[in-house]
Amino acid sequence: MYEKQSLDCPQSGDYLTMLSTKSPYDPSCSSGYTMTSMPNMNSYGTMSMGSMAMSNMNYSPPNMGGMPPQAMSSMGMGMHAASMPPGMNSMNSIASVNGMGSLPPMNGMSSPMRMESFNRAQAINRARDKTYRRSYTHAKPPYSYISLITMAIQQSPNKMCTLSEIYQFIMDLFPFYRQNQQRWQNSIRHSLSFNDCFVKVPRTPDRPGKGSYWALHPDSGNMFENGCYLRRQKRFKCVKKEMMRQSCSGDDDDSCKSPDSRDGCSPSPPPPPPQNHVPSGHEIPETKPEPMSNEHSAPTPVQQHERHDMTPNIRHMQHDIVSQGYNPAGHLNHPHSFNHPFSINSLITDSAKMDMKMYEMQGYGGYNPHMALPPMSKDLSHMPGPDNNGYYKTYAPHSVGSL
């Protein structure tokens, strides 16, 4: 029993207002919206704008209402709303720049101090938002569930989340998902199970609780290298598992139930030859992917003591995730996850940087979307952008400009 229309076709606004094409999700909803018809640009569409601004103009006016469409496009507003530009890599920037009324629970957001500034920022944003963006905050984000899950995982210090943390992250970030929870949460669970790019990391006895942790498969780094966070060009598949699935269809063989979750897995390109065995389906032994230069994260129990109970294979798995999946700087090492501005690699890298910056910014007493970035945030030249390398214009034809 769901009110289908209200979920599928939010009348209040649309993220894809800058698109001249159909909404990838709800064409019936978005096709009528154009840049010019929008009273302001405070839909989620500003996400791209805001973050691009952050990475290229050092300033991102949250209210683009007065800005003529031409100006927008000249600034890169032709970009697909679903394409997360480098600055966008910070989940913070999504929430705050767009004034969605809340900031995501970054890095666990567990300390009282953090919560305090979080709430303060929330309150400030809410008050500010009232005036001009109310009607656009509850539109469906243009991100696929896979993207949302990826975001949630990436924003966590340990690069893994429980299911409920993923739920919470999404709801904090996108008000749209505060409703019809049963529906989309089912989809989230389905996505987690169905997609090989997500791996289950069992809890350790010292971290009891319900459900496992979910992490990104180390080789899934280039899932979105086409720049389109809305839809991957190719699903990340563990071919070994795929083969298992095929060969085991209608087969009760136990070996079929323990596919390798790491080896033999590959995104689009052909996979490397299988190497090791690993417990089960999605499951990998709990590991501690190197947190990305993140001083906020306290060492976990897993970090604190060696896991001597691991089999060599399991150890290899953990080594894979930690040192192969992520380099010491916390960046994906995957050969495909080069520094494309829209790659997951970028997402991870810059997200971490931005996380920290945003926290520092919140030290001002809450993030003010109207203020210029603080000095330390201004040097974003390391972030790729249209002005830096022309990426947006020449790359990711599926996501940028061409849509």
C-beta of 136 vs 184, nearer to DNA? 184
> Binding DNA by CB under 7 A: which of 169, 214, 326, 367?
214
Determine the Cα–Cα distance for residues 314 and 80; give it in Å rounded to an integer: 41
Considering only the stretches 105-113, 151-159, 206-214, 358-366, report the one whose residues sit in contact with DNA under the rule CB under 7 A: 206-214
Least distance from DNA to the Cβ atom of residue 96, Å: 23
Least distance from DNA to the Cβ atom of residue 277, Å: 17
Least distance from DNA to the Cβ atom of residue 36, Å: 21
Bridge partners of 265?
A: 238
In this structure, are residues 380 and 54 in contact, taking their beta carbons and an 8 Å threshold? yes
Helix or strand holding residue 198 (H, E): strand 198-201
Tell me if 189 contacts DNA by CB under 7 A.
Answer: yes
C-beta of 10 vs 61, nearer to DNA? 10
The region that residue 330 occupies, defined by phi over 0 for left and psi between -120 and 50 for alpha, beta otherwise, is left
Least distance from DNA to the Cβ atom of residue 360, Å: 31
Considering only the stretches 50-58, 160-168, 325-333, 371-379, report the one whose residues sit in contact with DNA under the rule CB under 7 A: 160-168
C-beta of 65 vs 108, nearer to DNA? 108
Tell me if 342 contacts DNA by CB under 7 A.
Answer: no
> Binding DNA by CB under 7 A: which of 6, 186, 293, 311?
186
Structure tokens at 87: 């600055």
Among 17, 44, 10, smallest CA distance to 180 is for 10
Structure tokens at 238: 């563990």
Among 141, 89, 94, smallest CA distance to 340 is for 89
> Binding DNA by CB under 7 A: which of 13, 14, 15, 24?
24
Geometric angle at alpha carbon 126, from 369 and 25, rounded to 5°: 85
Q: What is the DSSP string of 1-13?
A: ---HHHHHS-TT-
Structure tokens at 307: 């896991």
In three state form, how does the secondary structure of 130-162 look? HCCCHHHCCCCCCCCHHHHHHHHHHHCCCCEEE
Number of residues near DNA (by CB under 7 A): 49
Binding track over 136-155 against DNA, x by CB under 7 A: -------xxxx---------
Helix (H, G, I), strand (E, B) or coil at 208: coil
Structure tokens at 160: 């893994």
Tell me if 270 contacts DNA by CB under 7 A.
Answer: no
> Binding DNA by CB under 7 A: which of 210, 254, 295, 308?
210
In this structure, are residues 284 and 261 in contact, taking their beta carbons and an 8 Å threshold? yes
C-beta of 96 vs 155, nearer to DNA? 155
Near DNA in 278-297, by CB under 7 A: 281-283
Burial (CB < 10 A; 0-12, 13-18, 19+), residue 180, is middle
> Binding DNA by CB under 7 A: which of 135, 179, 187, 368?
187
Tell me if 234 contacts DNA by CB under 7 A.
Answer: yes
C-beta of 170 vs 348, nearer to DNA? 170
Q: How many residues does the chain have?
A: 403
Neighbours of 374 (CB within 10 A): 12
Tell me if 183 contacts DNA by CB under 7 A.
Answer: yes
Near DNA in 26-55, by CB under 7 A: 26-28
C-beta of 14 vs 290, nearer to DNA? 14
Least distance from DNA to the Cβ atom of residue 104, Å: 18
Tell me if 25 contacts DNA by CB under 7 A.
Answer: yes
Structure tokens at 184: 């989309």
The contact set with DNA (CB under 7 A) reads: 2, 4, 7-8, 22-28, 143-146, 162-164, 167, 183-184, 186-187, 189-195, 200, 208-212, 214, 228, 231-235, 237, 281-283, 398, 403
